[in-house]
Chains A and B, each alone.
Chain A
Amino acid sequence: MHTKPLTFSSAIPEEAAPSAGALMHRRPLIYLAGLLLLTLLVGVIIWQRVMPAPAQYGMVLQSPQRATDFALASSTGGTLRLSDFRGQYLLLNFGYTSCPDVCPLMLANLAQLEAELGAQAENVQVLFVSVDPARDTPDRLTTYLSAFSPSFLGATGDEAELAAATTQFGVYYQRRQSGESENYFIDHTASVVVIDPEGYVRLFFPNGTTGAQMATDLKGMMRW
């Protein structure tokens, strides 16, 4: 029998083999699609890991100067300085224990923030500066703050000391007599100022920012 050697081309029927021309046109498109997906994926990973989430609730500041040091009387006794908190995020807020609504709300939000931060709360210290030294003794501050969190610190001082601790943070306060009685209120700025571990004012939350919102911003900042 006369057998022809089986060549490759004769073994495959003509119709079954896809035309070489058609495959050549489709290949770049497949590469393109794959590349786009890859770029998107890589881009998203980079964005998540490297870029800080933009602060959505607070204002991020880029101050070239550190906050000026100040000294106050601590609720735990002794003197407390701003420079003592280097290496931690310090959350400053201002008020007084007889404050009817704004201060308890702010402190509750800060307690919620602490809860949301979980393990990261180790790097964070909340400091409540009382603008009412006449009534807010260290003991009174400790009792008041313990209702919100055991880790909160309180501090106060005389007029000059408080000026050094409030003016630079945009905090204003003024006593207001309550009718005929000896009782008085203190109008004050209710915001939370965040000082970073190097001593720069980095973030500022207006009154009313919830704990969850502050946590979002802080976590983004800590990642960076």
Chain B
Amino acid sequence: MKVLSLWNLLLVMPVIGVLAFVIVQPVQVLPRIALAPGFALIDQDNHPLTSEDLRGHITLYTFTYTNCVAPCPQTGQTMQALQEELASLDTGGLPVRLVTVSFDPGRDTPAELSHYAQEMRANLNIWRFVTGGAAQLKQVIGGPFNTYYTQNSDGTFTFDPTFVLVDGWGIQRARYRSAMPDLGILLRDIQLLANEVHNSKGITKYAYEAAHLFLCYP
């Protein structure tokens, strides 16, 4: 009967609505994994770089040391490639930064880091190279950044190649456990962060918070 099928349709509509939201995913978000660590480190120009300096910036961190030669995982190449692509990325004015943290302060002095930065053809306005005290580095990298590294008897390091994406609020949004994560995915994720900042205002903010609660992550 006509009335009966209308009744069914109306009952089913909210369910369809939720399913559509989950399947079509008009709103995509990256998870808020953890707070990024607070730190005060020294960069390649002997200037301090603190976590507060990076607030308001979308930052990609990686952890390595300058004496990392193959078969040591080469994370620098990804940073180089990303540096090239960042110019074409439209983040609506949100600044993006790259930070390479060296866990070998014994050899990686600021001068050494500066030399390494030149080798990497780094644009120092967006890509900084930092280090700090050994205990402090273990606290920061091994702690909130959850990245394992250890020095071997021959002076080389064994470490999990990792990239961590941190948003402007100081929250870790993505971790890439690879020396060469897909550049397309990195760029997409930075774009997703920028979109969330720009779009989640007013009533649409509820859609973004719902996405955090209900959706699987890209």
Q: A residues bordering B, Cβ < 8 Å? A: 27-28, 31-32, 35-36, 39, 43, 52, 54-56, 59-65, 68, 160, 163-164, 166-174, 187, 189, 193, 201, 204, 206
For the complex of A and B, 3 pairs with smallest distance between CB atoms: A54-B209, A172-B38, A170-B35
**Interface magnitude class on chain B:** 35 or more
Q: Is the CB of A167 within 8 A of B38?
A: yes
A213, chain B: closest CB distance, angstroms: 14
When distances are taken between beta carbons in the complex, the residues of chain A under 8 Å from B34 are 61, 63, 65, 201
Contacts between the two chains (Cβ within 8 Å), count: 94
Q: Known contacts being A59-B169, A170-B38, A172-B50, is A54 close to B10, with CB within 8 Å? A: no
Can you pick out 18 interface pairs between chain A and chain B where the beta carbons lie within 8 Å of each other? A27-B3, A28-B3, A31-B6, A35-B7, A39-B10, A39-B13, A39-B14, A60-B209, A60-B212, A62-B31, A62-B32, A62-B33, A163-B139, A166-B38, A167-B143, A170-B35, A172-B51, A189-B38
**Is the pair A171, B33 in contact by a Cβ cutoff of 8 Å?**
no
**Contact indicator A36/B10 (Cβ below 8 Å):** yes
Question: Which residue of chain A is the closest to B217 with respect to CB atoms?
Answer: A62
Specify the chain B residue showing the minimal Cβ separation from A54.
B209
Residues in chain B near residue A27, CB distance under 8 A: 3
The answer to whether B212 touches A62, judged by C-beta atoms less than 8 angstroms apart, is yes
In the bound complex, CA of A209 to CA of B31 (Å) = 23
Q: How far does the Cβ of B190 sit from chain A's closest Cβ, in whole Å?
A: 18
The reply to whether A174 and B6 form a contact with Cβ atoms under 8 Å apart is no
Q: State A56–B200 Cα separation when bound (angstroms).
A: 11
B35 A193 Cβ-Cβ under 8 A: yes
Is B86 an interface residue, CB under 8 A from the partner? no
**Is B136's beta carbon under 8 Å from chain A?**
yes
Q: How far is the CB of A196 from chain B (nearest CB, A)?
A: 14
Q: How far is the CB of B175 from chain A (nearest CB, A)?
A: 11
A60 CB contact (under 8 Å) in B32, B35, B50, B206: B32
Roughly how many angstroms separate A204 CA and B172 CA in the complex, as a whole number? Answer: 13
